[in-house]
């Protein structure tokens, strides 16, 4: 396996990098646009105030939503101590450190070493964000999740979805906790937020996104989005 590269790469809307892996860990960050990273365990989505940690050896693919400025940082060892992908909060200082470090990846010397040291210090302090959409393995739950991925606005209850999948709502609720690590309502909200970010990146209006993702009103969508991401949908691409 090759080592994880460091540098910048523009990606057109819908563009990406096919499934691959590295023998060293990597931080991926979109300082413009929205980036999704998919592995066999699910999908992680990161707007401009989030970065994604990818452990060494993890098979993953990148996808850009909106015009995306992708920044990649290949690391050595495991400075974060994480054996799984994770979404990390990116504040203004960490953002500028990432941009500076990836702008001229061919540079070397003590100044660059100091820049990396500060960057790693801020990364290790960055809180992990619960912004992962897990992929289930049970075929009944997988069928329900696939249906909601196709139509995030689907408002059917767990009982109705379970009946279509040939099982009970109690069984699906148990599978959600054991396979997804969250309740069904939590997973559905996570799915809708993921989809909302992608639609916003493609230029959809806040009202249209709220409708297409299943919120009863734009104000309800704005409230959930702000609590999850720390800013309103209207500011998503002006950070």
Residue 98 contacts residue 119 (beta carbons within 8 Å): yes
What is residue 108's predicted lDDT score, i.e. its pLDDT?
Answer: 79
Superfamily of domain 7-132: Regulatory protein AraC (2.60.120.280)
CATH class of 136-235: mainly alpha
Residue 20 CA to chain centroid, in angstroms?
17
Distance from C-alpha of 162 to C-alpha of 13, rounded to nearest angstrom? 35
CATH 1.10.10.60 residue ranges for the chain = 136-235
Percent pLDDT > 90 in the chain is 83
The SS3 assignment for 35 reads strand
């960057």: which residue's tokens? Answer: 119
Predicted pLDDT of residue 107: 77
Instruction: Extract the residue ranges of the chain whose pLDDT is less than 50.
Output: none
- In the prediction, which pLDDT does 237 show? 64
Strands 132-134 and 86-89: unpaired
Residue 71, Cβ density class (10 Å: 0-12 exposed, 13-18 middle, ≥19 buried)? buried
Query: According to CATH, where is 2.60.120.280 located in the chain?
Result: 7-132
Residue 230: the pLDDT is 83
pLDDT at 55: 96
144 three-class SS: helix
DSSP class of residue 182?
A: S
Q: What is the pTM of this model?
A: 0.88
Q: What is the pLDDT, as a whole number, of residue 238?
A: 55
Taking phi over 0 as left and psi of -120 to 50 as alpha, with beta for the rest, 214 belongs to: left
């Amino acid at each position: 396996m090759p080592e994880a590269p460091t540098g910048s790469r523009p990606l057109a809307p819908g563009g990406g990098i096919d499934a691959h892996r590295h023998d060293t860990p990597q931080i991926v960050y979109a300082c413009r646009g929205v980036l999704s990273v998919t592995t066999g365990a699910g999908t992680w989505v990161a707007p401009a105030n989030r970065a994604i940690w990818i452990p060494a050896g993890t098979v993953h693919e990148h996808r850009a939503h909106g015009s995306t400025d992708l920044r990649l940082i290949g690391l050595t060892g495991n400075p974060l101590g994480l054996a799984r992908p994770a979404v990390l909060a990116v504040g203004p200082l960490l953002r500028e450190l990432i941009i500076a470090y990836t702008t001229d990846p061919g540079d070397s010397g003590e100044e660059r070493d100091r820049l990396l040291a500060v960057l790693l210090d801020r990364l290790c302090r960055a809180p992990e964000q619960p912004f992962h959409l897990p992929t289930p393995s049970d075929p009944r739950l997988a069928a329900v999740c696939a249906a909601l991925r196709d139509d995030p606005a689907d408002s059917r209850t767990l009982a109705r979805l379970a009946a279509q999948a040939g099982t009970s709502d109690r069984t699906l609720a148990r599978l959600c906790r054991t396979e997804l690590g969250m309740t069904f309502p939590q997973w559905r909200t996570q799915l809708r937020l993921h989809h909302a970010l992608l639609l916003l990146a493609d230029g959809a209006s806040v009202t249209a996104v709220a409708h297409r993702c299943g919120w009863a009103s734009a104000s309800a969508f704005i409230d959930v989005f702000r609590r999850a991401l720390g800013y309103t949908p209207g500011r998503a691409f002006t950070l």
